[in-house]
Amino acid sequence: MGLLDGKRGIIFGALDEQSIAWHVAEKCVEHGAKITLTNAPVALRFGGIQQLAEKLNANLIAADATSIEDLTNLLTESQEVLGGKIDFMLHSIGMSVNVRKKKAYTDLKHDWMQKTFDVSAISFHKLMQVAYNMDAMNEGGSILALSYIAAQRTFPDYSEMAESKALLESFARSFGYHYALKKKVRVNTISQSPTITTAGSGVKGFSEFFSYADKMSPLGNADADSCADYCVSMFSDLTRMVTMQNLFHDGGFSNMGMSPAILES
């Protein structure tokens, strides 16, 4: 315990108790960090995140992650309330307009696709650019975003989110280079197993696929709680030389070829 003692962090994307970010926020505080929580203004109206903020004694600051103005305000206020520069940030944001509207991949609306990329991937670049230009991160800090293996392999129902994740992972590599030189700040993505959350369950056939991935992975699917443990280790100084990586947190799924458990069933 205490891996994050004295550290200050910002957690994006806790919507309800199922959200991966919800688990990460709880674990970071358990490990001694002080954090601010943030989400899009519309998400704050649901109330779930307010309870989390009270429980963790954390300030809640609304920010649309696509708005440079909101991100600037978030980083300014977070440094004020936490009492100094930031040590870690979690980008846990995903939304696809075409998936929501059930458009077939061969018939996507490209202005919706741009919105999807803006929310799910370009927001990550915006966040890092604002932090970089404000010099808001401490030396040796750690920035993470959550990804999915559809960035590398074809999962037909994941639709344009596959390209969003490819872009997200590429931003981690490219910005990771610049941030390492400037301040030894690390930037990585964690490629997580399918997880039962609002964003996850929005993908067509999610529950069948969840069981398939569980059988395919020798350790089973990684849940949100274990993902939170991995995030804590990535925010801690123990992983201070890890940067520009896409790290699979998937119970072994990504290196499997075939699974006897699936053939048998």
Nearest distance in Å: CB 57, ligand NAD: 20
Considering the complex, state which of residue 87 and residue 169 has its C-beta at the smaller distance from ligand NAD. Answer: 169
Nearer to ligand NAD, 108 or 168 (CB): 168
Give CA–CA dist 134/75, Å, rounded: 8
Report the residue number, 120 or 236, with the smaller CB distance to ligand NAD: 120
CA angle 61, 246, 231 (to 5 degrees): 45
**Considering beta carbons, is residue 195 or 217 the nearer one to ligand NAD?**
195
Least distance from C-beta 206 to ligand NAD, angstroms? 7
- Minimum CB distance to ligand NAD, residue 198 (Å): 4
If the CB atoms of residues 155 and 179 are measured against ligand NAD, the closer one turns out to be 155
| Residue 193 to residue 235: CA distance in whole angstroms | 20
Query: At its nearest, how many Å lie between ligand NAD and the CB of residue 20?
Result: 4
> Least distance (Å) from ligand NAD to the CB of residue 36?
14
Element (H, E) at 231: helix 224-235
Q: Which residue is nearest to ligand NAD (CB)?
A: 200
d(CA 101, CA 168): 22
Could you tell me the two tokens for 220?
Answer: 């089973």
From CA 211, how far away is CA 249, in angstroms rounded? 17
- Site of tokens 């315990």: 1
What is the closest distance, in whole angstroms, from the C-beta atom of residue 216 to ligand NAD in the complex? 14
In the complex, which residues of this chain contact ligand NAD (CB under 6 A)?
Answer: 12-13, 15, 19-21, 39-40, 43, 64-66, 92-95, 119, 146-148, 192, 194-195, 197-200
Whether residue 20 contacts residue 192, with contact meaning beta carbons closer than 8 Å, is answered with: yes
Q: Per-residue b/e over 145-155, b at no fewer than 16 CB within 10 Å?
A: bbbbbbbbeeb
The token pair at 105 is: 């991949």
- Surface-to-core class of residue 205, CB atoms within 10 Å of its CB (0-12 exposed, 13-18 middle, 19+ buried): exposed
- Identity of the residue, 70 or 87, whose beta carbon is nearer to ligand NAD in the bound complex: 70
